[in-house]
Amino acid sequence: MNQARQMLKQVYGFDSFRKGQEDIIGGLLEGRDTLAILPTGGGKSVCYQLPALLLPGTTIVVSPLISLMKDQVDALNRLGVSAAYLNSSLDAATYRDVIRKTSQGVYKLLYVAPERLDGTMFESLASQLHIPLIAIDEAHCVSQWGHDFRPSYRQLAGWIGRLENRPPVAAFTATATPEVSQDIADMLGLRKPNVFVTGFARTNLSLSVVTGTDRRKFLRDYLAQRPDQSGIVYTATRKEAEEVYEDLTKLGISAGKYHGGLSDTERADTQEKFRFDDNRVMVATNAFGMGIDKPNVRFVVHWQMPSDVESYYQEAGRAGRDGEESECVLLFEPQDVQVQRFLIERSTADAERRSIQLNKLYTMMHYSRSDRCLLQFIVSYFGEEDVPSCGKCSNCLDQSAKVDITEDSRKALSCVGRLKGRFGVSLVAKVLKGSREKRIIEFGLDRLSTYGLLRNWVEKEITDLIYYLVAEGYLRISEGEYPTVSLAAEALPVLEGKITVTRRQSAAAKRRTSEGN
């Protein structure tokens, strides 16, 4: 390991290893298969690049994204390390050239897109090489349970198995729950892997969830308070990215936009401008990010909730890569859940996959609603325990006591019970409100005993209460084109008066304010 430490200083200029890096590298140098779950920015590249430099031969790095490969190879070349990549972006002549040089043993590291591995050209190349290590980046792509399944990753185990002397395999991901980790190990055929889950608590990030606010006004004020800071605003759709971008530009804020509808040149251009601080704010969809390594991103604002905690933490985690204090703000409105649900239900994925995605969505919703330390919530979701509460997320800072909302919850739950899972959230809210809407009268719902039980409430707040009860697990929302709400088993003890339901005072108080009394 001394040699590794020297190399760390000599090649990268770093004085010491980060948490986890030393153990991972040590294991790899001993030839152990490894599954390393390190958060974005945790420093995983060093974990396989250093062994690649220390071991004889050419290490193969499997990576799914073309732009990421190029960035990595450029960075290595700048450090004086010979490395190259093979993917569909190369023209035929360059491709052949890389193959030739690889067979001559020119490269210490060769980055390869997964779909390239299966070709006969690559197989015959691999048979000539001494491969001391195979590193698999974004390894969660092999798992159906992950949030970014890629069928080409499924071929990996077969390819590795066909290699003459199977080298140690190191799988890396930033985003794996315990089930996904197990699945990765199985799918890649890892042999008694060293498993590391470490460094998820990015203690320089202050997480917050902001609900019930006018997003545009919030963002304007937020940016006005930080005139010198650079950050990213993530939107769920291209259309929103355009709108927010327009809005900021009108305000004279130097902003760029990035989404899948722009040309490669436009995207490369706006990415550069952001990287070199010519633009202060990047408004982007999730198309932006893989492989950006801008250290001084001071904030990441999510205009809308993303579809799962993995994506959220990955995107939010682009703040503060330099270790300085940074903020991650999630703007959350209950109806955003519906938008995401709609996208999942309309997707072409099979039923099992859709139900996995829906569960992930509900966990994300729990995050948005939870009273727990937000950092702890995320970290424990990834399987890392014993992390102290952060003391600076919006939940840690919100000291307000919880209030008992059992009575109101029982009214809402019994109304849902009476409607027998036949209607959606908005109709349940209308019944509780005592609406005279045509549908309600036609269905005779105005004759229910629970009709108008919350007539003093604003309808939106009733909807909000129902979603809170969903997030807390008392209610369930069905799948399908017309999602309906029904009682979960957990509702029973509430209805029977055996347990109480609580909610943070601030949330309950907001309701009273909007009611105007």
Q: How far is CA 454 from CA 412, 414, 451, in A?
A: 8, 12, 8
Single out the residue of 36, 46, 236, 413 in contact with ligand ADP (rule: CB under 6 A). Answer: 46
Question: Within 236-333, where are the H helices?
Answer: 238-250, 264-275, 309-316
Q: What is the DSSP letter of 144?
A: T
Closest CA to 376 of 361, 391, 365, 357: 391
Q: How far is CA 261 from CA 147, 174, 237, 241, 264, in A?
A: 22, 27, 10, 11, 9
Which of the stretches 10-18, 100-108, 215-223, 276-284 binds ligand ADP when contact is defined by CB under 6 A?
A: 10-18
Indicate the residue among 21 and 206 with the shorter CB distance to ligand ADP.
21
Provide the minimum distance between the beta carbon of 53 and ligand ADP in the complex, in angstroms, as a whole number: 14
Provide the minimum distance between the beta carbon of 172 and ligand ADP in the complex, in angstroms, as a whole number: 8
Provide the minimum distance between the beta carbon of 49 and ligand ADP in the complex, in angstroms, as a whole number: 8
Contact 42, 18 (CB under 8 A): yes
Q: How far is CA 310 from CA 119, 139, 195, 313, 379, in A?
A: 32, 13, 19, 5, 11
Count other Cβ atoms within 10 Å, centred on residue 333: 19
End-to-end CA distance of the chain: 68
Q: What are phi and psi of 81, to 5 degrees?
A: -105, 135
Label residue 32 exposed, middle or buried (CB < 10 Å: 0-12, 13-18, 19+). middle
* Residue ranges in 451-510 that form contacts with ligand ADP under rule CB under 6 A: none
285 binds ligand ADP (CB under 6 A): no
Single out the residue of 4, 28, 37, 41 in contact with ligand ADP (rule: CB under 6 A). Answer: 41
Provide the minimum distance between the beta carbon of 418 and ligand ADP in the complex, in angstroms, as a whole number: 51
Rounded CA gap, 486 and 507, in Å? 23
CA angle 112, 114, 120 (to 5 degrees): 85
Indicate the residue among 249 and 296 with the shorter CB distance to ligand ADP.
296
Provide the minimum distance between the beta carbon of 383 and ligand ADP in the complex, in angstroms, as a whole number: 17
Site string for ligand ADP, 300-339 (x = CB under 6 A): ---------------------x------------------
Rounded CA gap, 236 and 283, in Å? 11
44 binds ligand ADP (CB under 6 A): yes
Indicate the residue among 40 and 270 with the shorter CB distance to ligand ADP.
40
Single out the residue of 5, 18, 226, 418 in contact with ligand ADP (rule: CB under 6 A). Answer: 18
Q: What are phi and psi of 475, to 5 degrees?
A: -125, 160
Indicate the residue among 43 and 64 with the shorter CB distance to ligand ADP.
43
38 binds ligand ADP (CB under 6 A): yes
Which of the stretches 35-43, 241-249, 488-496, 505-513 binds ligand ADP when contact is defined by CB under 6 A?
A: 35-43
> Judged by CB under 6 A, how many residues of this single chain contact ligand ADP?
14
Indicate the residue among 65 and 99 with the shorter CB distance to ligand ADP.
65
Which of the stretches 34-42, 216-224, 343-351, 366-374 binds ligand ADP when contact is defined by CB under 6 A?
A: 34-42
42 binds ligand ADP (CB under 6 A): yes
Rounded CA gap, 385 and 131, in Å? 36
* Residue ranges in 200-229 that form contacts with ligand ADP under rule CB under 6 A: none
Indicate the residue among 43 and 168 with the shorter CB distance to ligand ADP.
43
Single out the residue of 45, 414, 435, 484 in contact with ligand ADP (rule: CB under 6 A). Answer: 45
The strand ranges marked E within 30-128 are: 34-37, 59-62, 83-86, 109-112
Q: How far is CA 359 from the centre of its chain?
A: 14
Which of the stretches 14-22, 113-121, 307-315, 499-507 binds ligand ADP when contact is defined by CB under 6 A?
A: 14-22
Single out the residue of 7, 20, 40, 279 in contact with ligand ADP (rule: CB under 6 A). Answer: 40
Residues contributing to the site for ligand ADP (CB under 6 A): 14, 17-18, 21, 38, 40-46, 293, 321
